[in-house]
């Protein structure tokens, strides 16, 4: 009798499991006995589990974005042009990459990673918030410093220091920004009146990239590489404050958002026959704006989200790629990953294993 109870308990606790051999990857972390080899360390993340695996998958998806060519599509669309049937043309058609990020990331050192991508035309469209623009420009005028999350607010205010997480931006930096940008607005207003220029946020940002003329700025490279930077919420930041004050001094500057939504959505709609990929750091406006534009072409083909948002509150910021699939913002057949991680950790590592390593491979071998 006891034997029967025992074997019943035994078979409950030790329920025979389905074999995962060959179906799933084994979990295996990096072995430091092989020395500190960073590329191998990063590659080991795929089998390390949790967010390391998600980052590993994100690296895979981005590499797929970079490797895809129209020639990979064996089925040639019936109604496509003669040019599209040409094999060498098909070899040249690549994925169109939308990069979105929030302003805190530009305040951080991730700005320099972004600048690298723009400098080498590795992304096609950028969407960010106002802070994402001004923090890049201000860094060319004066630096941002490392502080601490725990610095008391009232104390910092008395010292004229603004805290962004554990970063500090002195008020003086914004004064320099004001002194730099107001004359540019004056020029732009003049051109609006005399040459009938109708400014849009993206045209303004291209102009600011030209005016800053500094190789450490991603806006400068976006201007040089003709990469559009969209910022539909242009008034929501220090730049918006500058527009506000400028309107008292000399009123009349008009900035048209309608032209820009045409341009942004056109980037997605007219991307075909190219595939589209989204790399979005953080949530908020950049995340939604890029997804929404891709909805216009029935969904993106690749999506990588790196953010710390959670979906339990129903926010768009915290929503997983699968929610976007329900809206038609991402295709059902798309390759998607969400990495739950602060982008200051995940993004430089991702770029190391994708954009940067591919470029290093194609560049002149180092002596």
Partner 1 sequence: MSDEEHHFESSDAGASKTYPQQAGNIRKGGHIVIKGRPCKVVEVSTSKTGKHGHAKCHFVAIDIFNSKKLEDIVPSSHNCDVPHVTRTDYQLIDISEDGFVSLLTDSGGTKDDLKLPTDDSLAALMKSGFEEGKDVVVSVMCSMGEEQICAVKEVGGGK
Task: State phi, psi for 183 to the nearest 5 degrees.
Answer: -60, -30
Letter string b/e over residues 136-168, b meaning 16 or more CB atoms within 10 A of that residue's CB: bbbbbbeebeebeeeeeeeeeeeeebbbbeebb
Binding positions for partner 1, 216-255, rule CB under 8 A: 238, 241-242, 244-245, 248-249
Which residue in 8, 11, 171, 266 binds partner 1 (CB under 8 A)? 171
Which among 253, 203, 221, 237 has a CA at the least distance from the CA of 134? 237
Q: Where are the beta strands (DSSP E) in the chain?
A: 96-101, 125-128, 145-146, 161-164, 167-170, 229-230, 276-281, 300-307, 330-340
177 binds partner 1 (CB under 8 A): yes
Min dist. Cβ of residue 162 to partner 1 (A): 6
Binding positions for partner 1, 276-315, rule CB under 8 A: none
Min dist. Cβ of residue 137 to partner 1 (A): 13
Q: Which residue's CB is nearer to partner 1, number 238 or number 294?
A: 238
Min dist. Cβ of residue 202 to partner 1 (A): 23
Q: Which residue's CB is nearer to partner 1, number 178 or number 311?
A: 178
Min dist. Cβ of residue 178 to partner 1 (A): 3
Task: Count the site residues for partner 1 by CB under 8 A.
Answer: 16
How many angstroms separate the CA atoms of 129 and 127, rounded?
Answer: 7
Question: Of these residues, 203, 275, 329, 338, which one is catalytic?
Answer: 329
In angstroms, what CA-CA distances link 122 with 210, 279, 283, 336?
20, 12, 22, 19
Whats the size of the chain, residue-wise?
A: 367
Q: Which residue's CB is nearer to partner 1, number 163 or number 224?
A: 163
**110-149 mask for partner 1 (x: CB under 8 A)?**
----------------------------------------
Give DSSP secondary structure letters for 150-210: TS-HHHHHHTTEEEETTEEEEHHHHHHHHHHHHHHHHHHHHHHHHH---B-HHHHHHHHHH
Instruction: Give Dmax over CA atoms of the chain in angstroms.
Output: 100
Q: Which residue's CB is nearer to partner 1, number 40 or number 249?
A: 249
Min dist. Cβ of residue 237 to partner 1 (A): 8
Binding positions for partner 1, 44-103, rule CB under 8 A: none
Which residue in 9, 175, 198, 254 binds partner 1 (CB under 8 A)? 175
Which residue in 178, 211, 236, 323 binds partner 1 (CB under 8 A)? 178
Residue 108 gets which letter from DSSP? S
Min dist. Cβ of residue 294 to partner 1 (A): 33
Would you call 275 a catalytic residue per the annotation? no
For residues 256 and 200, the answer to whether their CB atoms sit within 8 Å is yes
Which are the catalytic amino acids? 329
Contacts with partner 1, residue ranges (CB under 8 A): 160, 162, 171-172, 174-175, 177-179, 238, 241-242, 244-245, 248-249
């Amino acid at each position: 009798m006891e034997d029967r109870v025992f074997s019943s308990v035994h078979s409950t606790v030790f329920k025979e499991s389905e074999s995962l051999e060959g179906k799933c990857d084994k979990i295996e972390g990096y072995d430091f006995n092989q020395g500190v080899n960073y590329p191998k360390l990063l590659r080991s993340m795929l089998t390390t589990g949790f967010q390391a695996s998600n980052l590993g998958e994100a690296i895979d998806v981005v590499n797929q974005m970079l490797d895809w060519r129209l020639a990979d599509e064996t089925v040639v669309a019936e109604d496509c042009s003669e040019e599209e049937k040409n094999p060498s043309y098909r070899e040249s058609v690549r994925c169109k990459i939308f990069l979105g990020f929030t302003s805190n990331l530009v305040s951080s050192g991730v700005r320099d990673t972004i600048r690298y991508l723009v400098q080498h035309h590795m992304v096609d469209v950028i969407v960010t918030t106002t802070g994402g623009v001004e923090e890049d420009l201000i860094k060319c005028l004066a630096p941002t410093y490392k502080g601490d999350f725990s610095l008391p607010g009232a104390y910092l205010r008395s010292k004229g220091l603004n805290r962004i997480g554990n970063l500090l931006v002195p008020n003086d930096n914004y004064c320099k920004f004001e002194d730099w940008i107001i004359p540019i607005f004056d020029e732009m207003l003049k051109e609006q009146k005399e040459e009938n220029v109708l400014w849009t946020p993206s045209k303004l940002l291209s102009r600011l990239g030209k005016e800053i003329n500094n190789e450490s700025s991603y806006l400068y490279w976006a201007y040089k590489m003709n990469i559009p930077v969209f910022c539909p919420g242009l008034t929501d930041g220090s730049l918006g404050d500058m527009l506000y004050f400028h309107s008292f001094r000399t009123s009349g500057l008009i900035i048209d958002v309608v032209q820009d939504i045409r341009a942004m959505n056109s980037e997605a709609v007219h991307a075909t026959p190219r595939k589209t990929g989204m790399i979005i750091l953080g949530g908020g406006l950049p995340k939604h704006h890029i997804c929404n534009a891709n909805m216009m072409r029935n969904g993106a083909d690749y999506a990588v989200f790196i953010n710390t948002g959670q979906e339990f509150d129903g926010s768009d910021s915290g929503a997983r790629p699968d929610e976007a699939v329900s809206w038609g913002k991402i295709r059902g057949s798309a390759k998607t990953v969400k990495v739950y991680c602060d982008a200051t950790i995940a993004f430089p590592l991702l770029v190391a294993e994708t954009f940067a390593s591919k470029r290093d491979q194609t560049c002149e071998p180092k002596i």
